[in-house]
Amino acid sequence: MSGLHFSCRIRRTPYTSLAEQSGVTGFSVVNHMLLPKSFTESVEDDYWHLREFVQLWDVCCQRQVEISGRDASELVQLITPRALLRSAPNRCLYLPLIDRDAGIVNDPVVFRITDNRFRLSIADSDAELFARGIAAGRGMSVQIRELAIWPLAVQGPLAAQVVERVLGQCDHLGHFEWDWYEFKGSKLVVSRTGYSSQDGFEIYLEEDRLAEALWTALMKHGKTFNIRPGCPNLIDRIEAGLRSYGNEMTIHSNPIEMRMENFCCLDGSIDYLGFQTLKAIWQQGTRYVFSGFTFGGGPCGVCSTPWPILMDGQLIGRITSAAWSPRRERNVALGVISRRHSAVGNEAIVRDQRDICRPLTNEPVPIP
Amino acid sequence: MSGLHFSCRIRRTPYTSLAEQSGVTGFSVVNHMLLPKSFTESVEDDYWHLREFVQLWDVCCQRQVEISGRDASELVQLITPRALLRSAPNRCLYLPLIDRDAGIVNDPVVFRITDNRFRLSIADSDAELFARGIAAGRGMSVQIRELAIWPLAVQGPLAAQVVERVLGQCDHLGHFEWDWYEFKGSKLVVSRTGYSSQDGFEIYLEEDRLAEALWTALMKHGKTFNIRPGCPNLIDRIEAGLRSYGNEMTIHSNPIEMRMENFCCLDGSIDYLGFQTLKAIWQQGTRYVFSGFTFGGGPCGVCSTPWPILMDGQLIGRITSAAWSPRRERNVALGVISRRHSAVGNEAIVRDQRDICRPLTNEPVPIP
């Protein structure tokens, strides 16, 4: 960790001042916006807390891109291999956006607000510009804009009880279901989603003037559940196998390599830009495949450049996220490994930036 | 300034370790990459040094996006209002990229490497995704990719003497001209450009294995010219009227508002996506216009959210970058002001985030 210089270009959120008052000590930058990444407690302490209680996260950096208008559903379906229109309207969908070469552009959660109005809750790339390019290139009748909507995540096993006290009944929502709620007269979407292995909700506040009131109400009603401000937890994310755009995957990755087959319609029943390329990749198989890993040797430190995975001196993969898991007493990691070594046991090693080599074990990650 | 958490997603550059060895104390994040933003010296001290001597900047965050192939020139011309193909091939061009609604997508410097191969040295937005969208939407025959090229800037009045000692004769290059050079057998582009008010060059290294050698050679030969590692200087940038994408302008800005008329072909002799919209905006005039400002009252601190400009209690503009100028003994700033108040004198005030109001003077900025 080093200093981060602030400017208007790296946007504050309506909750940044509240996070600062709560003792935020560090940030990351996602979508040109501040994401709190540490408070006074350690990442290990936050990890245990998240697994037992409930936390409040400022995740405004998950920018909300709206695609609306006559051709909106055509445009959104054109840029994802997932069959967008086959699911119930109250389901929100995690899906890859891909280019015509099947390279992953982003992996948002998509809400179908009405038949001609979609919201993309995006990961760290300017997916809006890609959608604008497609729309302009094809002369489509759509409006594409970033909404002034401010997501807060309530994460942890006690999340439902806190959200219910502030916004009303929410336990009927299934995983990846959403509905409209109201807070102080203002309508807002709530989904049972979040970037953790635990239960949780995301609340999409539409009026920034209510940010402090919403934060304060959740903190107040969460007090008996031991709520505290937090942030996406690196250890928990890795253990849950949650990919991070920019870390595990980039425009050079494709959904097959990233084990997202479940989100890819490959039978030709829907048409999208990258279909032919993606089908060919699927038929041929990819050289690398997304995987989880564990390795010992004490806490590994920050993975800020990909770490090579080596077998007999040959490069067979790379680690892109890693952290010490206090529960497993081993390091946990995500990355890619060559498909033919993807079932390997203890024979591979990982080498970190300090040139320390440690024996590595391949580990399955949850297939979404 | 607060802590910045590192990860693979926020990429290091081939020079980051060298900047760390030179005492970098803080970073910004531009194009998902680290940009050194402070060393042990103060920004005022760096400002005076930059105006007198020469500095070496790691500006790898200016990512190099290559657009090549049969339709490359058609694609690049489609997304900019500047007449791309009318200038000499050894000129590189600063220009806005715009969408069909004339919103600014990015403001890169564009190099025509060959008739069918362009390099965009981009500001802080994923211009690659916009270009990919257009190309896929129109079915164009182009390849679009980010190159593994690593720009270093040598800035300051003594820059030419340092570059000449390392790479050979360069003083014949005019402002915004470029040529091929060689360093240790590796070809590279050098342009007489840079993000400062001073003379300077940008060196586009193509082999990262030579990063340390290039940095070391420039530092060694720069020693007699009092070279030191540095970074884009906020005070100097504001005084020079250099716009920053994400600060002064976004997708909601247009080139007329940003006083980029000189980069806009509006006579209909070239065709680009936003032509009709931009022409209408130009004919009607914009409500706001880009401007420089000065204001007193002692050092203003960091502008991390836009500061309102008020006249008689009415909002008439906003400041998006500001810094104390030790040379002028006043704060200097950039932002927009309503066109009908754009010649205003001392009657307006600026209010910063601490709710301190100070008298503001409008100041012309260099028209590019």
Model confidence at B32: pLDDT above 70: yes
Q: Which positions ≥6 away from A111 have C-beta within 8 Å?
A: A92, A118, A119, A120, A121, A178, A189, A191
In angstroms, the first-to-last Cα distance of chain A is 32
Residue A135 identity (one-letter amino acid): A
Name B318's bridge partners.
B308, B336
SS3 of residue A318 by DSSP: strand
Measured between CB atoms, which of B10, B37, B133 is closest to A132?
Answer: B133
Task: Write the burial class of residue A90 (CB in 10 Å: 0-12 exposed, 13-18 middle, 19+ buried).
Answer: middle
Say if strands A2-4 and B26-30 run parallel, antiparallel, or are unpaired. parallel
Measured between beta carbons, the chain B residues lying within 8 angstroms of A251 are 128-129, 146
DSSP B174-216: PTTBEEEEEETTEEEEEES--SSSS-EEEEEES-GGGHHHHHH
Model confidence at B342: pLDDT above 70: yes
Closest CA relative to residue A215, chosen from A55, A90, A64, A343: A55
Look at residue B179 in the predicted model and tell me its pLDDT: 98
CB B113 within 8 A of CB B89: no
Test the A interface: residue of B74, B99, B129, B251 with most A CBs within 10 Å: B129
DSSP A93-128: EE--EE-TT--EEE--EEEEEETTEEEEE--SS-HH
Residues A129, B134: C-beta atoms closer than 8 Å: no
Query: How many CB atoms lie under 10 A from the CB of residue A268?
Result: 9
Between vectors from CA B129 to CA B123 and to CA B130, what angle results, nearest 5°? Answer: 80
Q: What is the ipTM of this complex?
A: 0.97
| pLDDT class of B354 with cuts at 50, 70, 90 | confident
CA dist A14 and A152 (Å) reads 10
DSSP B10-26: SB--TTHHHHHHTT--E
pLDDT tens-digit map of B78-92: 999 999 989 899 999
> Least CA distance to B3: which residue of chain A?
A26
Q: Which positions ≥6 away from B136 have C-beta within 8 Å?
A: A99, A100, A133, A134, A137, A273
Measured between CB atoms, which of A29, A128, A146 is closest to B10?
Answer: A29
Look at residue B101 in the predicted model and tell me its pLDDT: 98
| Second CATH level (architecture) for the domain B64-146 | 2-Layer Sandwich (3.30)
| pLDDT class of A1 with cuts at 50, 70, 90 | low
Residues B5, A5: C-beta atoms closer than 8 Å: no
Separate counts of helices (H) and strands (E) for chain A = 8, 22
Instruction: Assign residue B285 a region (left: φ > 0; alpha: ψ between -120 and 50; beta: otherwise).
Output: left
Between vectors from CA A316 to CA A312 and to CA A321, what angle results, nearest 5°? Answer: 120
Residues B3, A10: C-beta atoms closer than 8 Å: no
Residues B138, A137: C-beta atoms closer than 8 Å: yes
CA dist B368 and B363 (Å) reads 15
CA dist B126 and B74 (Å) reads 20
Name B357's bridge partners.
B351
Measured between beta carbons, the chain A residues lying within 8 angstroms of B320 are 8
The mean of the pLDDT values for chain A is: 96
**DSSP assigned state of B103:** -
Look at residue B364 in the predicted model and tell me its pLDDT: 84
Question: Computed over its alpha carbons, how large is the radius of gyration of chain A?
Answer: 21
| Alpha helix segments (H runs only) across chain A | 16-21, 43-52, 72-78, 127-138, 159-167, 211-222, 234-239, 275-284
Say if strands A26-30 and B2-4 run parallel, antiparallel, or are unpaired. parallel
SS3 of residue B245 by DSSP: strand
Measured between beta carbons, the chain A residues lying within 8 angstroms of B28 are 4-5, 7, 9-10
pLDDT tens-digit map of A127-162: 999 999 999 999 999 999 999 999 999 999 999 999
**Annotated domain spans of chain B:** 64-146
Measured between beta carbons, the chain B residues lying within 8 angstroms of A131 are 133
Helix axes A127-138, B127-138, angle to 10 degrees: 30
Q: Which two tokens stand for residue B266?
A: 């509006």
Instruction: Assign residue B23 a region (left: φ > 0; alpha: ψ between -120 and 50; beta: otherwise).
Output: left
pLDDT tens-digit map of B262-296: 999 999 999 999 999 999 999 999 999 999 999 99
CB pairs under 8 A between A and B: 190
Test the A interface: residue of B1, B6, B9 with most A CBs within 10 Å: B9
Percent of chain A topping pLDDT 90: 90
- Phi, then psi, of B57 in degrees rounded to 5: -115, 135
CA dist A85 and A144 (Å) reads 19
pLDDT tens-digit map of A266-277: 999 999 999 999
Instruction: Assign residue B259 a region (left: φ > 0; alpha: ψ between -120 and 50; beta: otherwise).
Output: left
| pLDDT class of B1 with cuts at 50, 70, 90 | low
Residues A303, B7: C-beta atoms closer than 8 Å: yes
Q: What is the rounded average pLDDT of the residues A9-17? A: 98
Closest CA relative to residue A98, chosen from A315, A220, A304, A265: A265
Determine which helix (DSSP H) or strand (DSSP E) holds A285, and give its type and residue range: none
DSSP A58-88: E-TTS-EEEEESTTHHHHHHHT-SS-GGGS-
